[in-house]
Structures are given as C-alpha cells and as structure tokens.
Amino acid sequence: MMGNPKIENTEVVHGNPQELPKKVLAFVSEIAQLCQPDKIWLCDGSEDENKDFTRLMLEENLVINLPKYENCVLARTNPQDVARMESKTYICTEEKREAIPEPKPGVKGTLGNWMSLKQLDEEIKSRFPGCMKGRTLYLLPFSMGPIGSPISHVGIQASDSVYVAASMRIMTRMGKNVYKVLGDKDFVKCIHSVGVPLPAQKPIINNWPCDPEKTMVAHKTKTNEIWSYGSGYGGNSLLGKKCFSLRIGSAIARREGWLAEHMLIVGITNPQGVKKYIVGAFPSQCGKTNLAMLTSPIPGYKIECVGDDIAWMRFDENGVLRAINPEFGFFGVCPGTNHHTNPVAMDMIFKNTIFTNVAKTSDGGVFWEGLEKELKTHVSITSWTGEKHWTRDSGKPAAHPNARFCTPLVNCPILDPHWNSPEGVPISAILFGGRRPEGIPLIYETRSWKHGVYAGASVSSEATSAAEYKGHKVMHDPFSARPFLSYNAGKYIEHWLQMEKDYRKMPKIFHVNWFRKNKEGHYLWPGFGENIRVLDWIMRRCDNEPIAVESPIGLLPKEGSINLEGLPDPINWEELFELPEDFWKREMNDIETYFNQQIGDDLPPAIREEIENQKKRLGISK
Ligand code: TSX
Ligand code: MN
C-alpha cells in the first residue's frame, strides 16, 4: 500500500500535491517547514469536503449543531477573541510615511499602525516557528470576485483552524478550480495561525484556541502578504475579507488605478422600471447590511443586493464605473437583526450558516438581542457564554454584541441577477453616510466629484459599541475605511481625486444620515424600509430632475421633493434639513482640525480648497 503523499515530510491527508501550481507548492512547503503542522489538507471546495469540515468542527467541540435549522452550527469563542483587533493590526512598509501620515507633534495618530519590515520579521520569528504543531494546515485557494473576472484576484490561505476553512468556503469562492485560472501567476499569500500548538501550554477556553496576548494581523502591502496570528475571529482570521479585499486590495488598486472600498452594492428598480446601481460606504453600526437588502414598503420598487460590505470598482473603456462584490457570503452582525430591521436577512440565515457567539434556545435555535418579539415563550435561553436559563435580569446580553452570521450570498432571496457577472454592475451614485444625531441633514448631494471626495474624507459617525471604543462619541472615519487603510490616508484621498477624468461618467456623490434626532432625542426619520424614499430622490437626481436646491453644504431636496406619502408619522422637514449655524461652525472647525492633526502635509490641496470654499459659503470667516 502506498501511504499518503508528503510535503516537507508532512503527511497530506486530503488532496494531491501534484495538482498544485509550482508557486503554490513552494508556498505551502515553506509554510509547513516554518509552522510544522501534523498534517496538510489541500482544500478542493467540494461538498464532501464541507461535510468533513462540519464533522471535524463537531468532533473538536468547536461548534454545536442547531437542529431547528437546516445545516446550521453555532461556534462560541474564547470571550477574549470576539472582534477585529485594530490595535494589533499593522501595515508593514519600508517607510512609515508610506503607510500612515505624520500626526501633528503631541497628537496620537488614529489612521493606522505601522511596523517596519525588519520588525515584522522579528515578530514572525517569535510566533510562527512550530505554531501549528499537532494541528492540520488547511490550504485554501480562493478567488475574490468571480473566478476569471478581470477585476478578481486570487489568494491562497494557510490556516490551522477548520472553522476558518469552513468560513472561508462561505465567504470566498474557494476551491481547486482557482488553480486553473491562477496558473504560474502570483497570488496574495495569507498565513494564519490561531497560535496554539499542541499540546497546549494553557487551558483552551470554550474549545476555541487563540492567543490574545500575541495576536498580530500584519500586512506586507508591497509583496501582497498577510500574516495573522493568535485570533480565530472574523476579520482577523478570514483573511479574504478585510485584510485582502480592503487592505491589500486598496494597495493593489492604487497601483493599478481602481478602487477597493468598504461599500455595499445594491440595485434599485423604480416603479417606472428604471434600474440603477448605487454603492454606499457607512461606518459600523449604521445598518449597512440592512440597507443592502432593504424591503420597500412602497409597492413598485425592487431592491436587489450585490453585496453588503466590499466593492471593487473600475472604470471601463466607456468611462462607466463598474463594481463587483469580491466576497461570496455575508458575515453580518446578528444583534438587532429581526423582521422589522431586515426581513430579507431573516429569510436567508437559517440554512447553511455558521453562527458565532449568539445565544441558543432550548429547541435548538438561536437568539440575540432584537429577537425578543420573535421568541417562542416555552423555550429557555443559553447565553453565548454558556449561562443556562438566561433572562434579561442577568444584566449581560444573551448574545455578544458582535455576534455574527456567516451565510452564502446565494441564500439571499433578493440577490441581484448580475451578482456574479465578471464585468461588474454599472454604478450611478456613491453614498457616504454616518450616524450623526445632530446638524447633518437626511440627504444632500455634493456639488462636484471634488466636493464629494471631501465629503467622503470628512465622514464621522457616532460609535456606540465599536469593539475597542466605548461610549457615544462622534468619531472621524474617512470613507468609512479608517480601520482598513493600508497606505497614507492623504494619498488615499489623492487617489480618489485622481479618479476624475474628462471621458469618464463620474457618479454623483451623496451624503445621507438616517440618524438625526430632535431636541427631545427622537429620531426625525423612520429609516429602514422608508429609506427607499431617499433612494428614489437620489435616482431622480442621477437623471438631473430639478428637485434640488443649493445650500452651503451641497444640494438639498426641494421641499416636498421626497415622497412622504403614507408615512405612519408626520415628518418635520424643517428640522430634518436645517443647517444650524453654530453646529456648522463647530463641524467645519472640527474637520479642519482633524485633517491638520492627522493628515497634515499629506492632505491634498484640493481638499483644503473645498474646506475654504465651504466655509465661505457658510459665511464662516477666519
Ligand atoms: O439599519 C438601520 N437603518 C438602515 C436601514 C435600511 N438602522 C439600524 C442601525 C443599527 C445597525 C437604523 N436605525 C436606521 C436605518 O435607517 N434608522 C435608525 C434609527 C431609528 C430607530 C428606530 C426607529 C426609527 C429610527 N423607530 C422605531 O423603531 C419604531
Ligand atoms: Mn464592514
């Protein structure tokens, strides 16, 4: 009998190393030599393989079954490993200034963490050698974007977590067909370890191996490498998502002249049958996933979803901006998701889904904050931390606030027919937005591409429970990409400015705010499905309907030009759109101070001009 094949003396328990392209074989050999796994599993993306992943996760007690649903499991993590770790995320370049702007002396920079390439080598040497001992190295070939699309890119991830393998299979186009389009070409090298070689030196909490003290997520943007250690969670470990699609992606996009953005992509057909696609960037906690699959309460509108998190966009030869969703699944926040906020999501997440850190019901289902009205009365709840018979009196939430569903795109009942088209969908409008309780109107249209880029760079949002920042503070989040910037923010803004070319049909840029409150603290806009009324106004503006009026900050809807018919409660138009003088004085000063302190000399002069011009229009003198 022939034994299993070997790579670097390590047994290959699944797949055939001879089928690997040369460069892929060299990569896995190198990583196996460094990390010394017990076994190597070459993933093929097949259905059988996925059954193996599920069986292995169940055997390792990494997940439990959810018999109430079809092929759903629940993972509960070590409570110290529940979110992306911004403070441990690094961009590694030769020069610091390439990665982050120089903040004003005495000011702490907030636009990313830099590490030298030399330092990274040291950090790798102190973590990765032998880090996969006793574990299986899963080699995951994946395509971000439709396989073979000119906008798509290939990555190969080595990971010692079967949860990561199963999740990457949902979130990316993972499988050995990737090797056919890859051939001898280069790929993004993704190395991930939970950082717990066996036998473990410390107890493994919740059967979730991780090493929070030594967690590091590092990006070599010049050579397209990602080194992630110590965390099994989400963006730290599913390297196709934030690390590749946004950080490495935007570095490639800068070199190649396109855009890799933290944006949803949605198609809207109006009652006249006219369809347009828009992309939208929103900071966390703004309901991006809800907007990406909005349900219109007004008949005649059709919403179709292309993606809820990331857009890769390129101008085609006709000057049309085209977008693809590089992802293959949704990795959405559970708490707050229910039949009111997102009925479409409720229709898609109860099959073929990996839940993480939600609570469990005694009938084999899931529960989280926001599902109270949908809970059967006879069931009992076990919280995400394993507290049995959980009740609201427990004082702690049943589900972790960052609990997630990981669901394939194809589950989405309103998935756009062109979601997988290699050429991407044509984009008519770009939305920026934030959670702004004060001063910012429901919607405004920017005056030009330049003014729109300024608006994107100036985005701020109230952070409610963002992983590492507590309290209710309005924080700057340029392009909603602050946690995902992989090169100097000033150069990033510059790159956006340079997108504008005469022959190109530049999309209009809008700013929206669903979260304005009145003096009593009540929301002025019902939001959710009713946002279709704002999207309709945007679509009409894309056709240049004369329904806008000039204001100092951009074009506002003419009074009455947003359809308010049939809303349950009256809308206070005046309060929804007013531009309080004192607020805007503070706002402009705040934006200017932020740019000066954080971006300094790297801020493009065009943005300074936009600030000066807007101040003039607002009547703010020096
Ligand atoms: O997702 C939201 N959207 C976009 C929906 C397409 N949320 C939830 C944000 C947390 C993730 C919103 N919250 C939106 C919104 O448009 N608006 C609000 C604020 C709001 C909350 C509750 C009500 C009204 C506005 N009213 C009632 O619940 C009755
Ligand atoms: Mn996101």
> What CATH number corresponds to the domain at position 387?
2.170.8.10
Residue to probe by mutation, ligand 1, list 337, 465, 528, most atoms within 8 Å of CB: 528
Ligand 1 within 6 A of 336 CB? yes
Contact present, 508 and 429 (Cβ < 8 Å)? yes
368, 292: one domain: no
528 CA distance to ligand 1 middle (Å) = 5
Supply 523's token pair: 């929301």
Examine the fold and report which residue of 256, 281, 316 is the final residue of a domain before the chain moves on: 256
Q: What is the pLDDT of residue 3?
A: 87
Cβ neighbour number for residue 63 with a 10 Å cutoff: 24
266, 347: one domain: no
Q: Which residues contact 272 (CB under 8 A, 6 or more apart)?
A: none
Strand ranges (DSSP E) for 349-442? 354-356, 359-361, 366-367, 381-382, 404-408, 425-433
pLDDT means per 10 residues, the chain with 622 residues, are: 88 97 98 98 98 97 98 98 97 98 96 98 98 98 94 97 98 98 97 98 96 98 98 97 98 98 98 98 96 98 98 98 98 97 98 98 98 92 97 96 98 98 98 98 98 98 66 91 98 98 98 98 98 98 98 97 97 98 98 98 98 98 68
Is residue 73, in this structure, part of any structural domain at all? no
- CA nearest to 327, candidates 140, 145, 142, 84: 145
How large a percentage of the chain has pLDDT more than 90? Answer: 96
Considering its fold, how many domains does the chain have in total? 3
Measured from the Cα of 289, ligand 1's closest atom is 1
Give me the chain's average pLDDT, please. 97
Ligand 1 within 6 A of 526 CB? yes
**Rounded to an integer, what is the distance from CA 228 to the centroid of its chain?**
17
Ligand 1 within 6 A of 515 CB? yes
Is residue 1, in this structure, part of any structural domain at all? no
Q: What is the pLDDT of residue 466?
A: 47
Contact present, 367 and 375 (Cβ < 8 Å)? yes
User: Long-range CB contacts (< 8 A, 24+ apart) of 386-393?
Assistant: 386/76, 386/206, 390/359
369 CA distance to ligand 2 middle (Å) = 20
Task: Report the nearest-CA residue for atom 18 of ligand 1.
Answer: 527
Is 406 catalytic? The answer is no
Measured from the Cα of 526, ligand 1's closest atom is 24
Distance CA 587, CA 618 (A): 11
Ligand 1 within 6 A of 514 CB? yes
Question: What is the Cα Rg of the chain in Å?
Answer: 24
Is residue 306, in this structure, part of any structural domain at all? yes
| CATH code where residue 451 lies | 3.90.228.20
Q: What is the pLDDT of residue 464?
A: 73
Q: What is the pLDDT of residue 282?
A: 98
313, 383: one domain: no
In eight-state DSSP terms, residue 108 is: P
**Residue numbers of the domain that contains 430:** 260-329+416-618
187, 270: one domain: no
Taken as a whole, the chain contains a residue count of: 622
Distance CA 186, CA 77 (A): 34
Examine the fold and report which residue of 385, 409, 433 is the final residue of a domain before the chain moves on: 409
281, 147: one domain: no
Examine the fold and report which residue of 256, 278, 313 is the final residue of a domain before the chain moves on: 256
Q: What is the pLDDT of residue 470?
A: 55
288, 340: one domain: no
| CATH code where residue 243 lies | 3.40.449.10
Contact present, 464 and 283 (Cβ < 8 Å)? no
Is residue 308, in this structure, part of any structural domain at all? yes
Supply 493's token pair: 């803004």
518 CA distance to ligand 1 middle (Å) = 15
Is residue 358, in this structure, part of any structural domain at all? yes
553, 525: one domain: yes
Q: Which residues contact 543 (CB under 8 A, 6 or more apart)?
A: none
Q: What is the pLDDT of residue 13?
A: 98
Q: What is the pLDDT of residue 1?
A: 55
Supply 35's token pair: 């990390």
301, 345: one domain: no
243, 383: one domain: no
- CA nearest to 310, candidates 285, 282, 290, 351: 282
Q: What is the pLDDT of residue 203?
A: 96
230, 279: one domain: no
Distance CA 212, CA 214 (A): 5
DSSP secondary structure letters along 109-174 = P-S--EEEHHHHHHHHHTTSTTTTTTSEEEEEEEEESSTT-TT-EEEEEEES-HHHHHHHHHHSEE
Supply 176's token pair: 């050995």
Is residue 422, in this structure, part of any structural domain at all? yes
H and E: helices and strands count for the chain? 16, 32
Supply 128's token pair: 């990765």
Cβ neighbour number for residue 342 with a 10 Å cutoff: 25
> What is the SS3 assignment for 301?
coil
Ligand 1 within 6 A of 531 CB? yes
Is residue 298, in this structure, part of any structural domain at all? yes
Is residue 70, in this structure, part of any structural domain at all? no
Query: Which member of 190, 210, 243, 286 is catalytic?
Result: 286
478, 555: one domain: yes
433, 341: one domain: no
